[in-house]
Amino acid sequence: MSTRIGFIGTGIMGQPMARNILKAGYEIIVYNRTQEKTGPLARDGAKVGMSPMEVAEWSDVVILMLTGPEAIDSVLGDEDGLLRGMSKGGMIINMSTVAPAYTRSLAAKLETNGIVLIDAPVSGSRKPAEDGTLIILAGGPQEKIKRLESVFLTMGKRIVYCGEVGQGSGMKMAVNLLLAIMMAGLSEAVSLGERLGLNTETVLETILSGPLGCGLFNLKVDMLKNNVFPPQFPLKHMAKDLGFIMDTADENGISIQVGKAAWQLYQKGLEKGLGDQDVAVVKMMIDSIDN
Protein backbone atom coordinates (compact mmCIF):
# COMPACT_ATOMS: atom_id res chain seq x y z
CA MET A 1 0.00 0.00 0.00
CA SER A 2 2.81 2.42 -0.80
CA THR A 3 0.89 4.50 -3.37
CA ARG A 4 0.72 8.11 -2.25
CA ILE A 5 -2.54 9.69 -3.31
CA GLY A 6 -3.15 13.36 -4.08
CA PHE A 7 -6.78 14.44 -3.97
CA ILE A 8 -7.95 17.79 -5.36
CA GLY A 9 -11.52 18.98 -4.74
CA THR A 10 -12.96 18.21 -1.31
CA GLY A 11 -16.56 19.29 -1.96
CA ILE A 12 -19.76 17.30 -1.44
CA MET A 13 -18.33 14.21 -3.16
CA GLY A 14 -14.60 14.70 -2.80
CA GLN A 15 -14.59 14.93 0.96
CA PRO A 16 -16.15 11.51 1.69
CA MET A 17 -14.22 9.90 -1.20
CA ALA A 18 -10.91 11.18 0.16
CA ARG A 19 -11.91 10.07 3.67
CA ASN A 20 -12.52 6.51 2.44
CA ILE A 21 -9.08 6.42 0.79
CA LEU A 22 -7.57 7.59 4.07
CA LYS A 23 -9.56 5.08 6.12
CA ALA A 24 -8.25 2.28 3.90
CA GLY A 25 -4.73 3.14 5.05
CA TYR A 26 -3.35 5.12 2.10
CA GLU A 27 -1.22 8.18 2.64
CA ILE A 28 -3.11 11.10 1.17
CA ILE A 29 -2.60 14.81 0.55
CA VAL A 30 -5.68 16.94 -0.13
CA TYR A 31 -6.12 20.36 -1.69
CA ASN A 32 -9.19 22.53 -2.08
CA ARG A 33 -9.44 26.06 -3.47
CA THR A 34 -11.42 27.05 -0.35
CA GLN A 35 -9.02 25.71 2.21
CA GLU A 36 -11.49 25.42 5.13
CA LYS A 37 -13.12 22.48 3.36
CA THR A 38 -9.99 20.40 3.95
CA GLY A 39 -10.24 20.92 7.73
CA PRO A 40 -12.23 17.77 8.61
CA LEU A 41 -9.88 15.60 6.50
CA ALA A 42 -6.83 17.17 8.14
CA ARG A 43 -8.32 16.30 11.54
CA ASP A 44 -8.74 12.71 10.30
CA GLY A 45 -5.03 12.55 9.42
CA ALA A 46 -4.77 13.77 5.82
CA LYS A 47 -1.87 15.97 4.82
CA VAL A 48 -3.04 19.31 3.38
CA GLY A 49 -1.38 20.81 0.31
CA MET A 50 -1.14 24.57 -0.11
CA SER A 51 -1.28 24.34 -3.91
CA PRO A 52 -2.03 21.81 -6.67
CA MET A 53 1.70 21.87 -7.44
CA GLU A 54 2.55 20.74 -3.90
CA VAL A 55 -0.01 17.93 -4.22
CA ALA A 56 1.55 16.80 -7.49
CA GLU A 57 5.10 16.87 -6.13
CA TRP A 58 4.23 14.64 -3.18
CA SER A 59 1.91 12.14 -4.89
CA ASP A 60 2.27 9.07 -7.10
CA VAL A 61 -1.19 9.59 -8.54
CA VAL A 62 -3.53 12.60 -8.39
CA ILE A 63 -7.32 12.36 -8.27
CA LEU A 64 -9.50 15.30 -9.37
CA MET A 65 -13.07 15.72 -8.10
CA LEU A 66 -13.94 19.20 -9.34
CA THR A 67 -16.98 20.96 -10.77
CA GLY A 68 -15.98 20.64 -14.42
CA PRO A 69 -13.60 21.77 -17.21
CA GLU A 70 -13.12 25.33 -15.96
CA ALA A 71 -12.07 24.13 -12.51
CA ILE A 72 -9.82 21.40 -13.94
CA ASP A 73 -8.10 23.83 -16.32
CA SER A 74 -7.55 26.29 -13.51
CA VAL A 75 -6.04 23.64 -11.21
CA LEU A 76 -3.79 22.32 -14.00
CA GLY A 77 -2.55 25.57 -15.34
CA ASP A 78 -1.90 28.18 -12.67
CA GLU A 79 1.60 29.30 -11.69
CA ASP A 80 1.53 26.87 -8.79
CA GLY A 81 -0.57 24.45 -10.84
CA LEU A 82 -0.68 20.70 -11.04
CA LEU A 83 1.28 20.43 -14.31
CA ARG A 84 4.28 22.21 -12.82
CA GLY A 85 4.51 19.64 -10.05
CA MET A 86 3.90 16.48 -12.09
CA SER A 87 6.76 14.49 -13.50
CA LYS A 88 6.80 12.46 -16.72
CA GLY A 89 5.14 9.07 -16.23
CA GLY A 90 2.72 10.59 -13.69
CA MET A 91 -0.95 9.77 -13.62
CA ILE A 92 -4.08 11.88 -13.15
CA ILE A 93 -7.47 10.30 -12.49
CA ASN A 94 -10.32 12.64 -13.32
CA MET A 95 -13.44 11.61 -11.40
CA SER A 96 -15.33 14.88 -12.10
CA THR A 97 -18.20 14.78 -14.57
CA VAL A 98 -17.16 16.28 -17.91
CA ALA A 99 -18.04 15.67 -21.57
CA PRO A 100 -16.21 12.90 -23.47
CA ALA A 101 -14.79 15.45 -25.96
CA TYR A 102 -13.23 17.43 -23.11
CA THR A 103 -11.80 14.23 -21.59
CA ARG A 104 -10.17 13.29 -24.89
CA SER A 105 -8.67 16.77 -25.36
CA LEU A 106 -7.39 16.73 -21.76
CA ALA A 107 -5.81 13.30 -22.31
CA ALA A 108 -4.04 14.59 -25.44
CA LYS A 109 -2.78 17.68 -23.62
CA LEU A 110 -1.48 15.60 -20.71
CA GLU A 111 0.14 13.11 -23.07
CA THR A 112 2.34 15.87 -24.49
CA ASN A 113 3.59 16.33 -20.89
CA GLY A 114 4.18 12.58 -20.48
CA ILE A 115 1.21 12.20 -18.12
CA VAL A 116 -1.48 9.52 -18.43
CA LEU A 117 -5.13 10.43 -17.86
CA ILE A 118 -7.59 7.93 -16.44
CA ASP A 119 -11.19 8.89 -17.03
CA ALA A 120 -13.20 7.74 -13.99
CA PRO A 121 -16.44 9.60 -13.26
CA VAL A 122 -18.79 8.05 -10.75
CA SER A 123 -22.41 7.01 -10.52
CA GLY A 124 -23.92 7.66 -7.09
CA SER A 125 -24.19 10.77 -4.94
CA ARG A 126 -23.19 11.84 -1.41
CA LYS A 127 -24.55 8.80 0.50
CA PRO A 128 -22.83 6.20 -1.73
CA ALA A 129 -19.70 8.37 -1.58
CA GLU A 130 -19.84 8.21 2.23
CA ASP A 131 -20.55 4.48 2.20
CA GLY A 132 -17.84 3.72 -0.37
CA THR A 133 -20.42 2.21 -2.72
CA LEU A 134 -20.01 4.39 -5.81
CA ILE A 135 -19.89 2.82 -9.27
CA ILE A 136 -16.65 3.83 -11.00
CA LEU A 137 -16.99 4.32 -14.76
CA ALA A 138 -13.43 3.88 -15.98
CA GLY A 139 -11.89 4.69 -19.35
CA GLY A 140 -8.23 4.53 -20.35
CA PRO A 141 -5.42 1.96 -20.51
CA GLN A 142 -6.95 -1.19 -19.02
CA GLU A 143 -3.77 -2.47 -17.36
CA LYS A 144 -3.35 0.86 -15.51
CA ILE A 145 -6.98 0.79 -14.39
CA LYS A 146 -6.46 -2.77 -13.17
CA ARG A 147 -3.46 -1.63 -11.11
CA LEU A 148 -5.57 1.14 -9.55
CA GLU A 149 -8.34 -1.29 -8.58
CA SER A 150 -7.53 -1.29 -4.86
CA VAL A 151 -7.65 2.54 -4.76
CA PHE A 152 -10.94 2.64 -6.66
CA LEU A 153 -12.46 0.01 -4.38
CA THR A 154 -11.92 2.22 -1.33
CA MET A 155 -14.44 4.65 -2.91
CA GLY A 156 -16.68 2.34 -4.87
CA LYS A 157 -18.17 -1.13 -4.87
CA ARG A 158 -17.81 -1.75 -8.59
CA ILE A 159 -15.53 -0.66 -11.42
CA VAL A 160 -17.04 -0.73 -14.89
CA TYR A 161 -14.40 -0.77 -17.62
CA CYS A 162 -15.93 1.37 -20.38
CA GLY A 163 -13.14 1.39 -22.99
CA GLU A 164 -10.57 3.95 -24.06
CA VAL A 165 -10.19 7.34 -22.39
CA GLY A 166 -13.39 9.36 -22.93
CA GLN A 167 -15.65 6.33 -22.73
CA GLY A 168 -15.98 6.65 -18.93
CA SER A 169 -17.34 10.15 -19.53
CA GLY A 170 -19.55 8.75 -22.30
CA MET A 171 -21.04 6.24 -19.85
CA LYS A 172 -21.56 9.03 -17.34
CA MET A 173 -23.50 11.04 -19.97
CA ALA A 174 -25.86 8.08 -20.49
CA VAL A 175 -26.32 7.52 -16.74
CA ASN A 176 -26.96 11.19 -15.95
CA LEU A 177 -29.38 11.58 -18.85
CA LEU A 178 -31.49 8.90 -17.21
CA LEU A 179 -31.09 10.52 -13.78
CA ALA A 180 -32.33 13.89 -15.12
CA ILE A 181 -35.33 12.29 -16.79
CA MET A 182 -36.23 10.07 -13.82
CA MET A 183 -36.04 12.95 -11.34
CA ALA A 184 -38.22 15.16 -13.54
CA GLY A 185 -40.56 12.21 -14.17
CA LEU A 186 -41.05 11.45 -10.47
CA SER A 187 -41.62 15.15 -9.76
CA GLU A 188 -44.22 15.46 -12.52
CA ALA A 189 -46.04 12.32 -11.40
CA VAL A 190 -46.22 13.52 -7.77
CA SER A 191 -47.26 17.00 -8.89
CA LEU A 192 -50.05 15.52 -11.02
CA GLY A 193 -51.26 13.41 -8.09
CA GLU A 194 -51.30 16.42 -5.77
CA ARG A 195 -53.23 18.52 -8.30
CA LEU A 196 -55.77 15.71 -8.56
CA GLY A 197 -56.28 16.04 -4.79
CA LEU A 198 -54.22 13.02 -3.72
CA ASN A 199 -52.08 13.02 -0.59
CA THR A 200 -48.36 13.53 -1.37
CA GLU A 201 -47.14 10.81 1.00
CA THR A 202 -49.65 8.32 -0.38
CA VAL A 203 -48.57 9.04 -3.97
CA LEU A 204 -44.91 8.58 -3.06
CA GLU A 205 -45.54 5.41 -1.03
CA THR A 206 -47.60 3.96 -3.89
CA ILE A 207 -44.84 4.60 -6.42
CA LEU A 208 -42.07 3.37 -4.12
CA SER A 209 -43.81 0.19 -3.01
CA GLY A 210 -44.36 -1.08 -6.56
CA PRO A 211 -42.10 -1.94 -9.49
CA LEU A 212 -41.17 1.74 -9.96
CA GLY A 213 -39.50 1.97 -6.54
CA CYS A 214 -35.73 2.41 -6.90
CA GLY A 215 -32.64 3.68 -5.10
CA LEU A 216 -32.83 7.17 -6.60
CA PHE A 217 -36.47 7.69 -5.62
CA ASN A 218 -35.77 6.39 -2.09
CA LEU A 219 -32.98 8.97 -1.72
CA LYS A 220 -35.32 11.82 -2.71
CA VAL A 221 -38.59 10.83 -1.06
CA ASP A 222 -38.12 12.85 2.15
CA MET A 223 -37.22 15.95 0.16
CA LEU A 224 -40.44 15.67 -1.85
CA LYS A 225 -42.55 14.97 1.24
CA ASN A 226 -41.13 17.91 3.20
CA ASN A 227 -40.52 20.29 0.30
CA VAL A 228 -36.96 20.99 1.47
CA PHE A 229 -34.00 20.19 -0.75
CA PRO A 230 -30.62 20.08 1.04
CA PRO A 231 -28.00 19.52 -1.67
CA GLN A 232 -26.72 15.99 -2.27
CA PHE A 233 -26.47 16.53 -6.01
CA PRO A 234 -27.04 20.26 -6.64
CA LEU A 235 -29.38 21.28 -9.47
CA LYS A 236 -26.57 23.43 -10.96
CA HIS A 237 -24.51 20.26 -11.53
CA MET A 238 -27.46 18.51 -13.19
CA ALA A 239 -27.91 21.53 -15.51
CA LYS A 240 -24.16 21.52 -16.25
CA ASP A 241 -24.22 17.79 -17.04
CA LEU A 242 -27.28 18.14 -19.28
CA GLY A 243 -25.38 20.84 -21.20
CA PHE A 244 -22.54 18.33 -21.74
CA ILE A 245 -25.06 15.65 -22.73
CA MET A 246 -26.80 17.89 -25.29
CA ASP A 247 -23.43 18.97 -26.78
CA THR A 248 -22.20 15.37 -26.93
CA ALA A 249 -25.40 14.24 -28.63
CA ASP A 250 -25.17 17.11 -31.16
CA GLU A 251 -21.53 16.37 -31.97
CA ASN A 252 -22.46 12.76 -32.66
CA GLY A 253 -25.65 13.52 -34.64
CA ILE A 254 -27.85 11.95 -31.95
CA SER A 255 -31.32 13.33 -31.23
CA ILE A 256 -32.20 13.63 -27.52
CA GLN A 257 -35.90 14.36 -27.14
CA VAL A 258 -37.01 13.57 -23.56
CA GLY A 259 -33.68 14.82 -22.23
CA LYS A 260 -34.16 18.13 -24.04
CA ALA A 261 -37.45 18.75 -22.22
CA ALA A 262 -35.77 17.89 -18.91
CA TRP A 263 -32.82 20.16 -19.73
CA GLN A 264 -35.21 23.10 -20.25
CA LEU A 265 -36.75 22.48 -16.82
CA TYR A 266 -33.39 22.37 -15.04
CA GLN A 267 -32.28 25.51 -16.91
CA LYS A 268 -35.38 27.31 -15.62
CA GLY A 269 -34.47 26.12 -12.12
CA LEU A 270 -31.05 27.73 -12.52
CA GLU A 271 -32.63 30.98 -13.72
CA LYS A 272 -34.89 30.98 -10.65
CA GLY A 273 -31.81 30.81 -8.41
CA LEU A 274 -32.36 27.19 -7.28
CA GLY A 275 -28.94 25.95 -8.44
CA ASP A 276 -27.50 25.26 -5.00
CA GLN A 277 -30.46 23.16 -3.88
CA ASP A 278 -30.72 19.44 -4.55
CA VAL A 279 -31.71 18.33 -8.04
CA ALA A 280 -35.08 17.20 -6.57
CA VAL A 281 -36.02 20.88 -6.36
CA VAL A 282 -37.05 20.46 -10.01
CA LYS A 283 -40.40 19.47 -8.42
CA MET A 284 -40.87 23.15 -7.48
CA MET A 285 -40.31 24.16 -11.10
CA ILE A 286 -42.93 21.68 -12.25
CA ASP A 287 -45.40 22.84 -9.58
CA SER A 288 -44.98 26.44 -10.73
CA ILE A 289 -45.83 25.78 -14.38
CA ASP A 290 -49.36 26.96 -15.20
CA ASN A 291 -51.46 25.46 -17.95
Binding site for ligand NAP (CB under 6 A): 9-14, 32-34, 37, 65-68, 70-71, 74-75, 96-97, 122, 125-126, 232-233, 237, 241
Distances, alpha carbon 141 to alpha carbons 39, 87, 103, in Å: 34, 19, 14
268 catalytically annotated: no
Residue 67: CB minimum distance to ligand NAP, A? 4
Judged by CB, which is closer to ligand NAP: 65, or 190? 65
Residue 52: CB minimum distance to ligand NAP, A? 8
Residue 13: CB minimum distance to ligand NAP, A? 3
Which residue is catalytic, options 23, 37, 172, 260? 172
Judged by CB, which is closer to ligand NAP: 86, or 122? 122
Judged by CB, which is closer to ligand NAP: 237, or 283? 237
Judged by CB, which is closer to ligand NAP: 106, or 203? 106
Q: Looking at beta carbons, which residue is closest to ligand NAP?
A: 11
SS (H, E, C) the chain: CCCEEEEECCCCCHHHHHHHHHHCCCEEEEECCCHHHHHHHHHHCCEECCCHHHHHHHCCEEEECCCCHHHHHHHHHCCCCHHHHCCCCCEEEECCCCCHHHHHHHHHHHHHCCCEEEECCEECCHHHHHHCCEEEEEECCHHHHHHCHHHHHHHEEEEEEEECCCHHHHHHHHHHHHHHHHHHHHHHHHHHHHHCCCCHHHHHHHHHHCCCCCHHHHHHHHHHHHCCCCCCCEHHHHHHHHHHHHHHHHHCCCCCCHHHHHHHHHHHHHHCCCCCCEHHHHHHHHHCCCC
Residue 183: CB minimum distance to ligand NAP, A? 12
Residue 168: CB minimum distance to ligand NAP, A? 12
Closest CA to 9 of 45, 49, 43, 44: 49
Judged by CB, which is closer to ligand NAP: 110, or 122? 122
Q: Which residues are catalytic?
A: 172
